[in-house]
Structure 1
Amino acid sequence: MNRPTVGPILGYTTPHHARIFLRGATSTDYPVFAGIRHRKRGEQLWSAGVYSKLNGEYDMSDTLVLDNLDADSPYEYQAGWFNTTHPDHTPETVAKIALEWPETVYTFKTASTERNRVRRYVVGSCRYLRLTLGVPSAPELGDAIFSAIQSLAARQPLDGLLMVGDQVYVDDLNIVAPDRDYPAIAHKYRSAFSQPHIRNLMSGTPTYMILDDHEIEDNWPANQSSADKALYQNALRAYEIYQCSHGPALERLPDGKINRKVSRYWYSFADGDSDWFVTDCRTQRILSGSDKRMLGVEQENALLKWLIQSPAKVKFIVSSVLAFPDLKNHGEDGWKAYSTQRTRILETIRSNKIKNVMFVSGDIHGSLTSQLRHSQDPDFVVHSIVSSPLCNSKMLPYAKADNLILDEPLATNTAGTYKASMISRMISEDNFACLTLQADQLNVDFHDKKGRKIESVTIALR
């Protein structure tokens, strides 16, 4: 067997199952299969392998499922791909072949069913990796911060890695040499996800992703033109293969395999006393008219229902676009342009007295923590945690505190006004956030690209 050309990426992980993405390589002559086997750490015998036949429709990749696992338990696994000389082989028949597995042994831990156990998540966005003539230029710059995250995880194990937008920049050379065809976009994903440090981190940390605009085009869909139809289709095809495929948005079929037919990008998942709702802020927008919205009707209704019904102590809403405060120069791209829908969400939280709601965002190339309060409801407070960028481009500026609108209400209606305020400084450098949920507080620690803690905020839970 051969080492995966991309991956393995450990995706959605529960107490009893784990989804693992990997990619093989094209063979013009023979069928290609991927395989994974696992064992509990400390055991000698490997499980029977799980196999999948790879094909070009999914860029020679698949997400395989490890099932019937024990909760809160460490596991080891091996993963690879191989081709066969018999054209009629199936995943069932290749299971009978004596295979020589790759030497690399990966490790992960299943989720815990204990609700009150400490949970720790790393959040990041906007990871710039430039390609020049198809080759990453100074890739160590875009990969170094993942080494710092891995070092943190070695000291303080992570329950999840949330990558909340702009994992790739399809449009990084949009003026002189835009990537519009599928092979070029897929090559960008393969380059971004196969760098050594991010590869090592994602192989053993449950990784959850959602797209933002640069997975398609800057400020999508506001800047789209009639010539962008093929770009959109190609960009979303690549997104579905490399980001969506190993997450909770895809359902499992009766035979336990992943249904690769994508119906939506937004999703939710639960982990102990924290619930996550990851929104799709890009592909369902209605840009004008009486029902202007960032989230589609079904998605908004699902979000509001989740907010009301979730039993978790802390509810994280991932919005790749900054939820609040508003930016002065975000124009039609930010939530300010969809304020009616945002106010409906905030009013649902306030009127139902929902506690401990945290909006988690990226996008702006600056990191911060803020809070939102209501003029007539002293019990209402929600928080915004922003983590961006993991790696900036020299061509793009970092956000600064004076880019934010803090001297006027975020929204006003008959019930009163919502007003945002900072509870941290603006961080204008490459960084990531580590969220630690324990007892009655959420600690938000921002780390620079070398892993040094540069800002900390403690949010008291109610």
Structure 2
Amino acid sequence: MTDSLVFRSDRPWPNPRLRTGAVVGHATSTSVRLWLRTARPGKFALLLYGWGDSTASAGGKRALGAALSGVPLALEEALRRTAALRHVEFSVRNYEADTTHVLDLDRLEPDTWYGYAVYSQDEERVLFGHNRLRRFRTPPAEAERRPFQFALFSCHMPYRVSGLFRKRTDLANLDMWDFLGASLRRHEDSLDLVIAGGDQCYTDGVPTLDIWKKLNESMRRESGQLLPDEESMLSWYRDIYRGYWGFEGVRRVFDSFPTYMMWDDHEIGDGWGSHWLEDGGPDDGLARMFPSLEDRGLTRDDGRALAHRMFRAASRAYREYQHSHNPESPDGVWDYSFRRGGAAFYVLDGRGQRNIERDSYRILGREQFDRFAGWVADLDPDDTPFVFVVSAVPVLHARSALVGADQRMLLREVGLGDDLRDSWEHRLHDEERAALMRVLFVAAARGIRVSILSGDVHVSAAFVIRDGDGNSIWQLTSSAITYNIPRPLSWILRLGAADEGVTEEGYRFERFALYADSSYALISVHPEDGEAWFRLYGEQKVKAPPDAAGQAAVPLSHSVARIRLF
């Protein structure tokens, strides 16, 4: 019996999986980190060319695409046809990193559009970038402090099951990626980056594709060896990424705009880090994770070993597919920071260090928290008047809905245990949450305009939080871009989110928006004017009139909520 999914074609994906493609990652005014997947080992070259007026026209695009589609096509001829500024040769030696490779392109010009294509030297043809031309724009120089925009999305789960026995995997809600792409292109000359705020794929989204279900069905001992092994598990996680990222709408966003990513639980497993796995905990998280453990003749120690093995495999896949194109960080450190024209961004890792069984600082861990607190303390309000902190799980969201609720009922009736413990507002996180809010309000008191950016909860919202001195922080949540299965916590949030109230620490909060359907957000920043705006977009369409029956509905381009933050 083989557990690996390498070279397996029997997974019930209803869409083509990602084979070749690109992600435009961390960008500065003079550099871009470019992630590539070639689908096979070999020798390749990146062709980088200028994106001028002739290329931008419809006719110019068709002509260049046709010119690059010839086979065989010598490298020198491909360079001539693109009028390439340069080319970068690279090799993918084996399948060790699932044929992914990252190039750091430097010596670029600020605020400039570049086209690119990947060429296979072994096959003498363009691998991709000919059938659909790829391009990206470098941001302006930091010193210019021009107004800019960025996008925020989270929670990409476009699958559902159907059929008499619920074994057919269907697609739904993918229009949101087309809407997001259209919004980004409409604002492309000022759109500097995209933040993917967690759950860019789901290891456990639907039963037909659930790799934790696969683990429960295949875990065993053979000849004294606990199986599946880590390499097999890694193939499962790679399969998930390639399935979820195989959609054209997803690829058009990722390969066109600098995209900064952070994982959340579903890139690992539902509620990762919020389950008690050790014996004697308040509830039996191990039994929930592995309901068939005893039936398969395995011990609780075996279950813990398999869970941690899955985490290691998930971490390797996360590095390959997501973190490798983020800003550089030390080994084992997933949190990172970057700047963009008068704004500083810090992306917190609320999942890789999360451990509900730790005595304190169970979400970030003390080392990461101290690293973040030191970073905030070093900020100069004159250099970076705006700060955006990415926390995949909102710091404020659930409290307003759960005040007065019978939490034992919620645990019993709708299985909310790990969702509640996942929340920053759970009592287990009081110390860490209070410390985080102190750091942010000290920054706000120094004149820094602070916003927290989140996803996770499948409800979009905007809250302002104020301290007793009148300093304010915004909690902005955009979730989910695609999701087709009701989530208990989001159901409760929709029913009971309060308009205003007081947090455990005594901060007052007020809700300015709550949107329960699929969405994404655009945030605009005006450093010189000290202004920032939050715009939330949902799936809005105008149906065709009766005399135009059969024509597609027209998507609306205006936001469902527009809020001035500062």
The count of corresponding residues between Structure 1 and Structure 2 is 422
3-state SS of paired residue (2:174): helix
TM-score, length basis structure 2: 0.69
Counterpart of 1:75 in structure 2 is 114
Distance 1:401 1:143, change over 3 A: closer
Offset, 1:334 = 0.9
Instruction: Kindly provide the CA deviation profile for residues 198-251 of structure 1, in whole angstroms up to 9, marking residues without a partner as x.
Output: 111211111111001111111111235413122112212111111111111447
Offset, 1:419 = 2.4
The residue type paired with residue 24 of structure 2 is L
Candidates 307, 325, 335, aligned match of 1:228 = 307
Candidates 10, 35, 45, aligned match of 2:45 = 35
Distance 1:423 1:347, change over 3 A: same
Counterpart contact for 1:129–1:137, Cα < 8 Å: no
Offset, 1:447 = 0.9
Tell me, in whole angstroms, the C-alpha distance in 1 between the residues paired with 2:237 and 2:359.
35
Counterpart of 1:151 in structure 2 is 182
Alignment of 1:172-251 (within 5 A): 172-173=205-206, 178-180=213-215, 181-223=233-275, 225=286, 226=304, 227-250=306-329
Alignment of 1:225-304 (within 5 A): 225=286, 226=304, 227-250=306-329, 262-288=331-357, 290-304=359-373
427-436 or 351-360, which moves further after superposition? Answer: 351-360
Counterpart of 1:23 in structure 2 is 37
Offset, 1:340 = 1.1
Counterpart of 1:108 in structure 2 is 136
Counterpart of 1:335 in structure 2 is 424
Candidates 314, 317, 337, aligned match of 2:389 = 317
300-309 or 356-365, which moves further after superposition? Answer: 300-309
Counterpart of 2:558 in structure 1 is 453
Counterpart of 2:449 in structure 1 is 356
Counterpart contact for 1:446–1:456, Cα < 8 Å: yes
Tell me, in whole angstroms, the C-alpha distance in 2 between the residues paired with 1:33 and 1:395.
46
Instruction: Kindly provide the CA deviation profile for residues 79-111 of structure 1, in whole angstroms up to 9, marking residues without a partner as x.
Output: 244547xxxxxxxxxxxxx76565243111101
Tell me, in whole angstroms, the C-alpha distance in 2 between the residues paired with 1:248 and 1:116.
21
3-state SS of paired residue (1:383): strand
Alignment RMSD? 2.7
Offset, 1:402 = 3.8
Offset, 1:452 = 4.2
Counterpart of 2:65 in structure 1 is none
TM-score, length basis structure 1: 0.84
Distance 1:394 1:284, change over 3 A: closer
3-state SS of paired residue (2:422): coil
Counterpart of 2:515 in structure 1 is 427
Distance 1:136 1:296, change over 3 A: farther
State the identity %: 22
Counterpart contact for 1:208–1:247, Cα < 8 Å: yes
Instruction: Kindly provide the CA deviation profile for residues 323-372 of structure 1, in whole angstroms up to 9, marking residues without a partner as x.
Output: 11334264211112312112112212333514210000000000010011
More helix by share: 2
Tell me, in whole angstroms, the C-alpha distance in 2 between the residues paired with 1:325 and 1:448.
19
Candidates 469, 488, 501, aligned match of 1:377 = 469
Instruction: Kindly provide the CA deviation profile for residues 44-66 of structure 1, in whole angstroms up to 9, marking residues without a partner as x.
Output: 62133223322222101111122
Tell me, in whole angstroms, the C-alpha distance in 1 between the residues paired with 2:153 and 2:461.
12
3-state SS of paired residue (1:159): strand
Distance 1:269 1:351, change over 3 A: closer
The residue type paired with residue 344 of structure 2 is D
Candidates 138, 145, 150, aligned match of 1:121 = 150
Offset, 1:132 = 7.7
Tell me, in whole angstroms, the C-alpha distance in 2 between the residues paired with 1:301 and 1:441.
29
The residue type paired with residue 45 of structure 1 is A
Distance 1:289 1:188, change over 3 A: closer
Offset, 1:115 = 4.0
Counterpart contact for 1:15–1:112, Cα < 8 Å: yes
Offset, 1:142 = 5.0
Candidates 183, 188, 204, aligned match of 1:171 = 204
Distance 1:248 1:142, change over 3 A: farther
Following superposition, which runs of at least 4 residues in structure 1 exceed 6 angstroms of deviation?
Answer: none
The residue type paired with residue 37 of structure 2 is R
176-185 or 161-170, which moves further after superposition? Answer: 176-185
Tell me, in whole angstroms, the C-alpha distance in 1 between the residues paired with 2:126 and 2:353.
46
Distance 1:296 1:405, change over 3 A: farther
The residue type paired with residue 421 of structure 2 is E
Tell me, in whole angstroms, the C-alpha distance in 2 between the residues paired with 1:80 and 1:234.
30
Structure 1 runs not aligned, ≥5 long: 85-97, 252-261
Tell me, in whole angstroms, the C-alpha distance in 2 between the residues paired with 1:80 and 1:208.
25
Offset, 1:137 = 4.0
Tell me, in whole angstroms, the C-alpha distance in 1 between the residues paired with 2:45 and 2:114.
16
Tell me, in whole angstroms, the C-alpha distance in 2 between the residues paired with 1:316 and 1:351.
15
3-state SS of paired residue (2:480): coil
Tell me, in whole angstroms, the C-alpha distance in 2 between the residues paired with 1:367 and 1:381.
20
The residue type paired with residue 38 of structure 1 is L
Distance 1:184 1:286, change over 3 A: closer
Instruction: Kindly provide the CA deviation profile for residues 381-417 of structure 1, in whole angstroms up to 9, marking residues without a partner as x.
Output: 10000000001123436444444466653233xxxx2
3-state SS of paired residue (1:411): coil
